[in-house]
Structure 1
């Protein structure tokens, strides 16, 4: 179908056009090539997937044949676009259906059980599995990131540090504006380990000097991240949970932060700016920071020995119980299922695991909500002596790979296609010039010494 559509797009025009101009197609011809109804063609236009031009005489629209052919190649199958008004992106990265999710058609939970984070990242980027692959931080970028992180106030959180590390790494990379697939992948393979290595080891003050871990660049990203999350020594079972969590969280379709990343990529922002856009949204309490709420709740359950009073306090205050329910999954979050299974092999996680089950069972008396990945991350962070923001750090580092994958897709689309129109609700013009507001000068502050 693709070859026939391409051939047809190059030979069938709307007539009456300048011979030196790119060939134009009528709405009917465009609909036939795409295998959709004529009204669906205009839905493609409204979503920025096609551009149109009024035909001579103003009767109907015409479409660029080459642009139509490119859309046919991208879609690869004849199906109508979703209902008008929905914001939909075609993506070959993640599919979520029937309480499961898949990376490029492969069960994501199976991938995460069998392969580490770097291998899964390469899979979603390229569709190629590279066993044993390791990412290496470029010396210049890492030095700049560490120096910038070290200059932050001591109370800064990990997401604060990741955001400035991205900016510093970008400034140190003169090739950041290379948006070719290989250029973007080269930047990504250097940025992710830079983010991890720029974070201070727990218990140490952030410095611009070396704070590498045993194994150095040859160690897995999970092993490098571990001492930046907790003082406790890493054991293989706990490391397996962390590595699997990183792999599981790599992407989850068009989450809020991923949409922000695609908007940045649509403007042809470089990959570091794309990651910065994602990090900005991720910090919201309803997205990446949700795991911190689950950590605090679970810590209290462990301390008090029962979920009942803790759940009651949340409900009394009108707050939802953290770590439960998901807008996509009707049953238990498949990511949580995998992590809970691995946490069974971590001896020090027994109390936190029991507390998480108590939370689910207690809440189920009122409403049957299942555990989500935030609760599983909370079990890991509580059991291994991590801070409340550890889950957010894991989320941010992991999802960086997903943002890059979506940027690679978006760079191949028509630039700036995401341009919604605002519905103005202010006063109708013309309005008179506003009168200036005169405010008295503020009084000087009193001297505390007096």
Structure 2
């Protein structure tokens, strides 16, 4: 595991160095005195001289006043690295689709990887906080713990407590993020260290701001999964169930450019602070086509158990023209690897037996239809929440808390890119001007 981790770490740092142009080799070239004038830098970049200074103001280039002439000079290696990056961006996605370079998550051949390491294996071996640190830094921080500072936590709890009782989990989390942001005067510092410090405080603040369903002492000050448990269920936790909750958090940490993650990157591209970027992700997550799938799968399983079989329930979904929740994923031809990992562990949880059987019956009924749909992580998460006495909305909570780490990782990547690069042009379809004044 550590050999893989070291290799992935080296690869990511190499990529980051290539993107920024600030490699050790570039430093050596700077030391050798190879400099470019403004005109030479502009020619190499294919832009006007004024744009070169715009790059300087954005932090993408560094300039040095020429002690002899009247202009500025630029490190040649740094300019060349920026030119290579600009050419890659211009060449990306020839079909016109938005393409975003990322060193975080790769999905291929029905598997997914965090920084080159098998994500299921990583999540099965390490706790959520450790997986988050790996995604953020490419380094494994054994025993990592996240702690909520008193002031942001108190502000988030007051804000959440003021919401109506019927507020959903994402409502509460959005409000908690906004309150925590206001309590953090350093939120506008977008340096890597500052963003990571905010992330390590924000995630436990979100958990701590949620209303308690079970006794507070069940949460304690241990792992995040343990602290989240009494916010999800009134049942006393057992080690196997807690381990499953932690596994769920780890598996859901990131999943490439899902809709919510793309929203986070757009916000980060505009240099929104990390709290605002997470808020953008939560806004998209609340959509019925993204974050609500786990809730729908939970309710379907409840209905299957109440009616004693999956066939009549599935028939009603199909008759109404509704999609059966918890099945199929556009990125996987076979079974969602996250679902496979959770189902494998759920088999060892005695109280999961009925819900697990119901989920498998739903999948079997649909398989007879010949649609080729396999169980996805929403169905597995629904089995967990139902088995542990959690509400239908609990899956959304788990998903949102888990994915916050991934959103922060993508925001960190985007802060290193050219600002406002995610600005597509609209394809205007309205009446051509000039039109009469209304």
TM-score between both structures, scaled by the size of structure 2: 0.83
Match of 1:177 in 2: 188
Q: Aligned partners of 2:411, 2:402: CA distance in 1, in Å?
A: 15
* Cα distance change, pair 410–429 in 1 and its aligned pair in 2 (3 A): same
Q: Aligned partners of 1:216, 1:256: CA distance in 2, in Å?
A: 34
For the aligned residue pairs, the C-alpha RMSD in angstroms reads: 2.8
Alignment of 1:339-378 (within 5 A): 339-366=342-369, 367-378=371-382
- Render the CA deviation track for 1:250-276: whole Å, top value 9, x for unaligned: 000000000000000001100000000
Residue 214 (structure 1) shift:
3.9
Residue 285 (structure 1) shift:
1.1
The 8 Å contact of residues 108 and 248 in structure 1, kept in 2 or not, is answered as yes
- The equivalent position to 2:321 in structure 1, one of 307, 318, 335, is 318
* Cα distance change, pair 288–391 in 1 and its aligned pair in 2 (3 A): same
Residue 432 (structure 1) shift:
2.3
TM-score between both structures, scaled by the size of structure 1: 0.81
2:341 is equivalent to residue 338 of structure 1? yes
Q: Aligned partners of 1:78, 1:420: CA distance in 2, in Å?
A: 13
The 8 Å contact of residues 25 and 65 in structure 1, kept in 2 or not, is answered as no
Q: Secondary structure at the match of 1:96?
A: strand
Q: Aligned partners of 2:383, 2:250: CA distance in 1, in Å?
A: 17
Q: Secondary structure at the match of 2:418?
A: coil
Q: Aligned partners of 2:285, 2:168: CA distance in 1, in Å?
A: 13
Residue 74 (structure 1) shift:
10
Residue 102 (structure 1) shift:
0.4
Alignment of 1:23-422 (within 5 A): 23-25=41-43, 66-70=78-82, 72=84, 81-202=92-213, 212-214=216-218, 216-217=220-221, 219-366=222-369, 367-422=371-426
Q: Aligned partners of 1:88, 1:68: CA distance in 2, in Å?
A: 22
Flag the structure with larger Rg: 1
Q: Secondary structure at the match of 2:429?
A: coil
- Render the CA deviation track for 1:34-73: whole Å, top value 9, x for unaligned: xxxxxxxxxxxxxxxx99xxxxxxxxxxxx9845413647
Q: Aligned partners of 2:393, 2:196: CA distance in 1, in Å?
A: 28
The 8 Å contact of residues 275 and 403 in structure 1, kept in 2 or not, is answered as yes
Q: Aligned partners of 2:162, 2:235: CA distance in 1, in Å?
A: 26
The 8 Å contact of residues 382 and 395 in structure 2, kept in 1 or not, is answered as yes
Q: How many residues matched?
A: 387
Residue 382 (structure 1) shift:
1.1
Q: Aligned partners of 1:193, 1:339: CA distance in 2, in Å?
A: 23
Residue 183 (structure 1) shift:
0.2
Q: Aligned partners of 1:212, 1:105: CA distance in 2, in Å?
A: 38
The 8 Å contact of residues 99 and 331 in structure 1, kept in 2 or not, is answered as yes
- Render the CA deviation track for 1:177-230: whole Å, top value 9, x for unaligned: 110000000000000000001000127xxxxxxx8444633x110011111111
* Cα distance change, pair 92–71 in 1 and its aligned pair in 2 (3 A): farther
Q: Structure 2, unaligned stretches of length 5 or more?
A: 1-13, 48-59, 62-75
Match of 1:43 in 2: none
